[in-house]
Structure 1
Amino acid sequence: MSTPDLPDVPTQLLIAGSWRDAEGGATFGVDDPATGRTLTQVADASVADGAAALDAAVAAQADWAATAPRDRGEILRRAFAIVTDRADELATIMTLEMGKPLSESRAEIAYGSEFLRWFSEEAVRISGRYSVAPNGATRLLTLKQPVGPCLMITPWNFPLAMGTRKIAPAVAAGCTMVVKPAGLTPLTMLWLADVMGEAGLPDGVLNVVTTTSTGEVMEPIIRDPRLRKLTFTGSTGVGRSLVEQSAEGLLRTSMELGGNAPFVVFEDADVDAAVDGAMLAKMRNLGEACTAANRFIVHASVAEEFSTKLAERMGSMRVGPGTEDGVEVGPLVDEKQRDSVAELVDDAVEKGARVLCGGQAPEGDGWFYAPTVLVDVPDDARLLSEEIFGPVAPVVTFTDEDEALRMANDTEYGLVAYAYTRDHARVVRVYEGLETGMVGINAGVVSNVAAPFGGIKASGFGREGGAEGIEEYLETKYVGLAGL
């Protein structure tokens, strides 16, 4: 089967409603990780281009904040309809630049587009309150107003959903923005920005800057006193650096950072259901997700059954280019990521782990790695403490509930955890005892547009989605009314 052609997609910078070249005409290539071939060239922005994008966002802020909430919501609703109608086109773009199978791309589009619809409805539900002061002398009024110009830095692994999860609430709240998508997968964001304009978003509300000089171009924007909010999804290391930069301007910040998700299977669990959930928690997006199960903590009495069944499922998955029919596992995003996964597996095996399936990269072009299950994983294996970001499932065992919780919480991260048990009393103890921002009980997927997404500890702060998501883009103003 031949690789499909790349659909038409903008490749320039979007600034103040106009598509334009980067300063000096600089560009960089976007590659297909399944073949290594260059798909297209996109604009490589300079510091001056970044400044122009912020200028545009600042210039548009007042008029956009004054736009009726219903009008803001209708733009998002139209964008949802366009994305849904053109899902196949976008799926091809996403698969070509990121590598995930077309089925995974379509699933992301279904999920990511829902943020446009959800926040189209939230736009008209921004409210305040009115009350009488306890002493009766004054009236207390609170209202919500947009934070102001925002900088959004999005990752490569979910190029649509990580964008809509930030853009949609900002649009609903009345904020303008500068978006910097990942250099590995910029095409999806450029396509979305074009769609937002088609849906009626005014010039300058959404500006997109693609660049290979992220730190150099973004830092002046972060330190500019006109910027009011920074939101980032990516690694904890980069997040820490961005928070330090944001401190100068005391910016509102939202950080969705790394994870090391435990997947706990208790002795009373339905093992077949747990394996089904493990396939979702581990193999969604090829394991390249901060929510991916990173450590499988399984009761010793069911560990052999669980591991064997998981290896049978993962070992039978078809690996190949994501554009081919029937492929379940595409390539990792680039050579660096493939080598990182291989290094973690090799480290575990050298220290005594046993491979039940996979354990190596197949020969040929592209950045593929075989789905892998490891057992007898020693405590000092790096993949138990580091984020794998690939199709590798290490299994370790426990013997009692307290030990399971200690093992699950033994990490600097706290994004999400999964647990399988049929004991109702244990369910409460477990979700209360897990040190994570999200918990899936007898479920391998927790992400839902109607629920708040986010973590604690080194996994960041702030929430995206749900009723909480729009609050990240709103300030609360209090007015004391006297002499009435």
Structure 2
Amino acid sequence: MIQHSFLIDGEKIRTEDSFEVINPATAEGFARCSVATSEHLDAAVSAARAAFPAWAGKSVQDRAAMIEAIADAVEQEKDDLAVLLSTEQGKPVHTGAAGEIMGALKWARATAKLRPSVDVVQDDEAVRIEVHRKPLGVVGSITPWNHPVMIAVWHIMPALLAGNTVIIKPSSYTPLSTLRLIEIANGILPKGVLNSVTGEGGLGRMMSGHAGIDKIVFTGSTNTGRNIMANAASNLKRLTLELGGNDAAIVLADADTDKIAAKIFAKAFGNSGQTCAALKRLYVHDSIYDTLSTKLAEMAIAAKVGPGNDPETQFGPLQNKAQFDYVKELVADAVSNGARVLSGGQALDRAGYFYPLTVVVDVSDGVRIVDEEQFGPVLPIVRFMDVDDAVACANANENALGGSIWSADIEKARVLACRLESGTAWVNDHATISPNAPFGGAKQSGIGVEFGLYGLEEYMQLQTVRISK
């Protein structure tokens, strides 16, 4: 079984202590990964701090050119990287994994085109006042297991473009594709600019409390985000936290179920539901409730769930046993509270963490499957009569990453979308994001935003320069 190394100051580090990486399609280990200690983290921080002045001193054009070169180098290995990603994460090779790699390349290249501005807020006879944007220093990135390459790119590329150096800790469930990304990038970047550390339990906590790290960017659960925020207080770290989501979608009575069913299905079940901004609570008007529920259940029944290396697979397994068990628990709880299961509802009788696409009806707020983020291939559908009640239910949840309104009346839907208390509100769509528009959560779904100039500014410190004439 191959043991993979992390990378500090341009050098691969292999340790005696290692942990197993599990293939979720078989529930068996297929690789091992070295465990970084606090001393390794200190060494990574030292390397990043030493590399920072020269990296920050480069022009933004030079840094952007290196990001473009990294994207080109990753594209040369996209097929092998997709296989590795699929093996450790579970998503189908030729759709989900390949799509994630290409999406990451799109984001990297879009980020490379961004340019921080210098704003002139006053220029008269007495004074010129400029607002500059300067890098923070060392950025610590902690990434999740659902999109390990894409989210690593979201964290790393704007940090590098802004002039920061980076230390990344990928999830111990899915470290390998991220480690390979870092290796490829280190073939282009100066030593120490981009470092990686890997380990189970405790390493992220050490990063968030480390005095030599100036900012943490984290994507993951709200509880972990709270812990990071508390640990980061020791040196007032800057934070970008993209946390849990339990996105609600509201389908109005005038919606055409034939037109919207396939899109709702894709936005709810993509990546087997393991996406922060996936559609996770579906509120449907009583007049079309049964029709839309039936259509979605039929699609779920017809879907091919299987291992990522099967060309016919459309949806892979859940990534880990803890999430697999949690999804089973939520469905069982819903059934015990009177819910009906129109599709799926029972784990598949095979090795691995396979759970079928599951549509659950006759549920309401107050049942765990509605109130809690499933993060799996399960969609609860809630019946409503009054749209104001539906909006109130959508807003009652502590999570507020995204939400959507579905209607044939675009203006009515836009007005309702603006009433949603979410970081992003969609009309006749859900979970679609782009590199030029900010993305982040409201309420307990996070702090700060990513993407575009809005996200780039999260990696920079404002400096006001006053020039007296």
- For the superposition of Structure 1 and Structure 2, which TM-score range results when normalised by the shorter chain? over 0.9
Task: Find the residue that maps to 1:97 and give its secondary structure.
Answer: helix
Q: In the alignment, is residue 419 of structure 1 matched against residue 410 of structure 2?
A: no
Measure, in 1, the Cα distance between the counterparts of 2:345 and 2:208.
42
Kept in 2: contact 1:321–1:331 (CA 8 A): yes
Mapped partners of 2:364, 2:162: distance in 1: 49
Shifted more, 189-198 versus 79-88: the winner is 79-88
- Between 1:217-226 and 1:249-258, the stretch displaced more is 217-226
Matches of 2:453 and 2:261 in 1, distance apart?
A: 32
Q: CA deviation at 1:224?
A: 3.2
Counting matched residue pairs gives: 468
The code of the aligned residue for 1:130 comes to V
The residue type paired with residue 265 of structure 1 is V
2:29 matched residue in structure 1:
38
Per-residue CA distance 1:42-98 (angstroms, 9 max, x = gap): 111111111111111111111110012111111111111222232211110011001
Equivalent of residue 212 in structure 1, options 189, 196, 200: 200
1:157 aligns with 2:152: no
The answer on whether the counterparts of 1:352 and 1:378 sit within 8 Å (CA) in structure 2 is no
Q: In structure 1, what residue type is equivalent to 2:286?
A: A
1:396 aligns with 2:375: no
Structure 2 equivalent of residue 120 of structure 1: 112
Q: Residue 185 of structure 2 aligns to which amino acid in structure 1?
A: M
Residue 136 of structure 2 is aligned to residue 147 of structure 1: yes
Find the aligned partners of 1:31 and 1:163 in 2 and give their Cα distance.
Answer: 20
Instruction: State the distance in 2 between where 1:307 and 1:393 align.
Output: 10
For the structure 1 residues 331 and 131, does the alpha-carbon distance in structure 2 shift closer, same or farther, using more than 3 Å as the test? closer
The correspondence of residues 165-180 of structure 1 with structure 2, limited to 5 A, is 165-180=154-169
Residues 239-318 of structure 1: matches in 2 within 5 Å? 239-318=225-304
Residue of structure 1 equivalent to 2:5:
12
Change (3 A) 1:307 1:132: closer
Pairing partner for 1:367 from 353, 358, 362:
353
Cα deviations by residue, 1:369-403 (Å, 9 ceiling, x for unpaired): 01111111143320111110111111111112211
| Separation in structure 2 between the aligned mates of residue 325 and residue 59 of structure 1, nearest angstrom | 47
| Residue of structure 2 in register with 1:446 after alignment | 432
Is 1:53 equivalent to 2:44 in the alignment? yes
Whichever residue aligns with residue 158 of structure 1, its letter is: H
In 1, Cα distance between equivalents of 2:207 and 2:410: 50
Is 1:94 aligned to 2:85, yes or no?
yes
Give the alignment of 1:230-245 within 5 angstroms. 230-245=216-231
- Aligned partners of 2:210, 2:430: CA distance in 1, in Å? 42
Task: Tell me if 1:81 matches 2:67.
Answer: no
Contact in 1 for aligned 2:3/2:34 (Cα 8 Å):
no
Amino acid at match of 1:113: L
User: In structure 1, how many angstroms separate the alpha carbons of the residues matched to 2:243 and 2:467?
Assistant: 42
User: What is the rounded CA distance, in whole Å, between the counterparts of 1:422 and 1:341 in structure 2?
Assistant: 33
Cα contact 1:280–1:444 (8 A) shared by 2: no
Equivalent of residue 138 in structure 1, options 123, 127, 130: 127
Contact 1:140 1:478 (C-alpha < 8 Å) held by counterparts: yes
SS at match of 1:297: strand
Tell me what 1:3 maps to: none
2:189 counterpart letter in structure 1: L
Task: Confirm or deny: 8 A CA contact 1:351 1:378 kept in the other structure.
Answer: no
Pick from 425, 442, 458 the counterpart of residue 456 of structure 1. Answer: 442
Percent identity reads: 37
Query: Structure 1 residues 473 and 363, CA, compared in 2 at 3 Å: closer, same or farther?
Result: same
1:130 Cα deviation after fit: 2.8
- Partner of 1:14: helix, strand, or coil? strand
How far did residue 133 of structure 1 move? Answer: 5.5
CA distance, structure 2, for counterparts of residue 106 and residue 162 of structure 1: 14
Q: Distance in 2 between matches of 1:238 and 1:376?
A: 32
Q: Provide the C-alpha distance between the structure 1 equivalents of 2:21 and 2:122, rounded to a whole number of angstroms.
A: 59
Distance 1:228 1:190 in 2: 22
Does 1:106 find its partner at 2:101? no
Q: 1:476 aligns with which of 455, 462, 466?
A: 462
CA contact (8 A) 1:236 1:258 kept: yes
Q: Which runs of 5+ in 2 are unaligned?
A: none
Alignment gaps of 5+ in structure 1: 1-5
* TM-score of the superposed pair, with normalisation by structure 2: 0.97
Tell me, yes or no, if the aligned pair for 2:3 and 2:31 is still in contact at 8 Å: no
